[in-house]
Amino acid sequence: MRQRRWIELLKDYDLSINNHPGKANKVADALSRKKIGKIKEQIQEGKSQEFQTDENGVLWMKGRLCVPDIDGIREEVISEAHKSKFSIHPGRTKMYRDLEKNYWWNGMKKDVAIFVSK
């Protein structure tokens, strides 16, 4: 239903939608790095209870590895989990629950749903 409303809204406009792969989308990459930098600053100032960094500078959120939005690494994490011989091609909810045990990123649930529905 939601897609139909968007189609109705957009059909009167002359537009084209272009996809920018992760490597080509420098703006998203810069924003991701900037966001991570701000979180690390908050950790140093003692203002963050949820996030920590380890001795190698790796960012963790409540014991889960924070995966940056750089060079398609998030999609690679999802892909590896999806093709694991132990997963037997789970649905989106099972995939998300399995991944959320070890990984975290903003919008992870949506990314998993998009990947599984491909």
For the chain, percent of residues with pLDDT exceeding 90: 16
Rounded to 5 degrees, what are φ and ψ at 40?
A: -65, -35
Distance of CA 104 to the CA centre of its chain: 8
- Kindly report, residue by residue over 33-84, the tens digit of the pLDDT: 677 788 888 888 988 888 998 888 889 999 999 998 888 899 999 888 877 6
Q: What pLDDT shows up at residue 88?
A: 62
**What kind of fold does domain 22-116 have according to CATH?**
Endonuclease III; domain 1 (1.10.340)
The band of 32, judged by pLDDT with boundaries at 50, 70 and 90, is: low
Question: What is the model's pTM?
Answer: 0.63
Rounded to 5 degrees, what are φ and ψ at 38?
A: -65, -40
Q: CA–CA separation, 30 vs 13, rounded Å? A: 31
Q: Give the β-pairing of 59-61 and 51-53.
A: antiparallel
Q: Assess contact for 43 and 51: CB atoms under 8 A.
A: yes
Rounded to 5 degrees, what are φ and ψ at 77?
A: -60, -45
Q: Assess contact for 22 and 29: CB atoms under 8 A.
A: yes
Element (H, E) at 104: strand 103-104
